[in-house]
Amino acid sequence: MVRFRGPAMRLSINQAGVTNTPHVEDLCANDNAKFQEEFAELPKLLHDLATSDADLPWNRSKNRFTNIKPYNNNRVKLLSEPGVPGSDYINASFVSGYLCPNEFIATQGPLPGTVADFWRMIWETRSRTIAMLTQCFEKGRIRCHQYWPEDNKPVTVFGDIVITKLTEDVFPDWTVRVLKVERHGDYMVVKHFNYTSWPEHGVPESSTTLIQFVKSIRATRGHDNTTIVVHCSAGVGRTGVFIALDHLVQHVSDHDFVDIYGLVAELRSERMCMVQNLAQYMFLHQSTMDLLSSKGNSQSVWFVNYSALEKMDSLDAME
């Protein structure tokens, strides 16, 4: 089970170089009291959306955590194998991008028994980009089963899919691998971006490298409009932050407002518990201000929470 907790540290927001942040200033007051209140108001999941497919007897062992399940309505469905119950199931959800519906697949880190299913999903959706936000081992625990070839073994077989590592480039905060995926005499090439400087349940020390990571993936895709597969360990915390940040990088370039509360609520309507804890929620605000600060003071963007404003309007109307 995923435990919803934040890192033991004092959280703060640096607003230097950014104007029009009264909402953020209010959230930060009294040791982030309203930040905590606002985050606590976010529903972890939508109770009217069923997750029963994940609880079927033949699917339970495929879930890394018992309390993180895809909604039935937007789960990724694999092609069924005749006579194999649950062969269409993987703990993965389609998630909308900034402009495109189903631009992302948010999923858990593969288990030993689901690696072949993971590669089936890549193959069947023709996804050519994977963003991995965890390391296979963290704090002495396995967070994700390695699903690409070991350094001393350039080719690995998972089910009927053959994976060959063509290249690997290691940078200070992430690694980029180019993988050849072969099946039934056909093949495709997949780029694997592995961010390695992100502690589980926490946030990177600086937003700068993660923003660069998000932008580099977006830039290398060019005109590729296939689905981007994103995962950490559970597929909700770091995964949610990555997808939200990709939204925000694009949003602030052509809007004069940003509603991070509304964005996270929208993501959680597609996969439960996205952006898992307060530290990650505050990190999105800090990242957005860092984005704006890097553009200079020529751009003025208002931070708002439209959901809270609507509640206030409703109360005013009742008086």
| 232 is annotated as an active-site residue | yes
Q: Which of 28, 144, 232, 273 is catalytic?
A: 232
Three-state SS string over the chain comes to: CCCCCCCCCCCCCCCCCCCCCHHHHHHHHHHHHHHHHHHHHCCCCCCCCCCHHHHCCCCHHHCCCCCCCCCHHHEEECCCCCCCCCCCEEEEEEECCCCCCCCEEEECCCCCCCHHHHHHHHHHHCCCEEEECCCCEECCEECCCCCCCCCCCCEEEECCEEEEEEEEEECCCEEEEEEEEEECCEEEEEEEEEECCCCCCCCCCCHHHHHHHHHHHHHHHCCCCCCEEEECCCCCHHHHHHHHHHHHHHHCCCCCEECHHHHHHHHHCCCCCCCCCHHHHHHHHHHHHHHHHHCCCCCCCEECCHHHHHHHHHHHHHC
**Catalytic residue numbers?**
232
